[in-house]
Amino acid sequence: MEETYYKSSGKAPIGGVLFAIVAGLCASVILAIVYIALQWFIPLVYFNFLITFGLAYGLFYVIDVLLKIGKVRNRMIALLLTLVCTLVACYAQWCLFVSLMFNAEGTMGGDIWVKSSFNLDGFLYFLFHPTDTFSGIQELNAVGTFSLQKNVVSGWPLWILWGIEAATIIIYPMVLAFSGKTTEPFSERGNEWMRKRELEKQIAYIQDKQILEQNLQKKDFTSLQTYLQSDDLGATFATVTIYESDADNYQYISVVNHKLGTNKKGDIVDNKTNVLTYFKIPERSL
């Protein structure tokens, strides 16, 4: 029976996987260094939370691009590679942080050690001596690494903050990778990712998913070809994304419902709901 929705082949070219692994690990270390550099030169505790999310998203983005280049369409490999790279990034940033702290001069009286400098030998030492790295982390936890309102944060409160940081760096990219590039339509005939384009105009809000599916299976595309005019645009509408390739005689479409509202600040919020994701239709239907 022909598939109604796109189903990934799960293929993962060896060359593409090896490329993604090597480049991903190198990128993880580089991003970890940038992460610690930003934390060191911008010692604002609340800003550090934003930097942490930035590192997490950066890891996902780089790995996703590498998997795209390598034409890897296997979700499990994507998740495994993401997990490995996030663990490496988490460890590498600790190696650099510990080496900087042990080379620092000053005390916690000014909320942070006043001076330190990057030492490649020190970083590499901790990178290849995990036991010393973990011992250094324990020592830093005992004395604290920053202050809040002149009170040094150490012990269990600091362990909890570090745990939240590690969870963000590891889990957030994993969540994003679950629906990353490896899940998007790939043309096995053309050996390329399908082109993605949006219908230029919005269509009416989809009230019933089952009716839409039934109509599409009957090759009735009226609801997707009836565009809303500018005068008809309101707070609810739907958008259509098309995936296609010159090598295939079919397309895939995704339909998303939009409901505009406002938050407590009065800003417009677009509440999106996926109606169809990668539904198969004949070529040139839209």
Sign of the dihedral defined by the CA atoms of residues 43, 45, 51, 55, in that order: positive
Q: What's the whole-model pTM score?
A: 0.87
Identify the DSSP state of 10.
-
Q: What percent of the chain has pLDDT over 70?
A: 93
What does the pLDDT read at residue 146? 73
Residue 256 lies in a domain: yes
Q: Same domain, yes or no, for 207 and 173?
A: no
Position 85 in a domain: yes
**End residue of a domain, out of 147, 162, 183:** 183
The reply to whether 6 falls in a domain is: no
Distance CA 232, CA 62 (A): 40
Q: What angle do CA 65, 71, 73 make, to 5 degrees?
A: 95
Q: Is there a single domain that holds both residue 165 and residue 78?
A: yes
Same domain assignment for residues 142 and 59? yes
Q: How many CB atoms lie within 10 A of CB 55?
A: 27
Query: How confident is the model over 210-261, as pLDDT tens digits?
Result: 999 999 999 999 999 888 887 777 889 999 999 999 999 999 999 999 999 9
Average pLDDT score, the chain? 90
153 and 225 belong to one structural domain: no
Has residue 3 been placed in a domain?
Answer: no
- pLDDT exceeds cutoff 50 at 110: no
| Other C-beta atoms lying within 10 Å of the C-beta of residue 261 | 10
- Residue at which a domain ends, from 122, 154, 183: 183
Same domain, 209 and 173: no
Residue at which a domain ends, from 149, 183, 217: 183
Residue 33 in contact with residue 39, Cβ under 8 Å? no
Min mean pLDDT across 22-36, 111-125, 168-182, 256-270 is at 111-125
Domain range holding 162?
14-183
Residues 106 and 220 in one domain: no
> How many structural domains compose the chain?
2
In the prediction, which pLDDT does 200 show?
A: 86
* 34, two tokens: 């940038």
Query: What are 19's two structure tokens?
Result: 């490329």
Specify whether 70 is located in the same domain as 202.
no
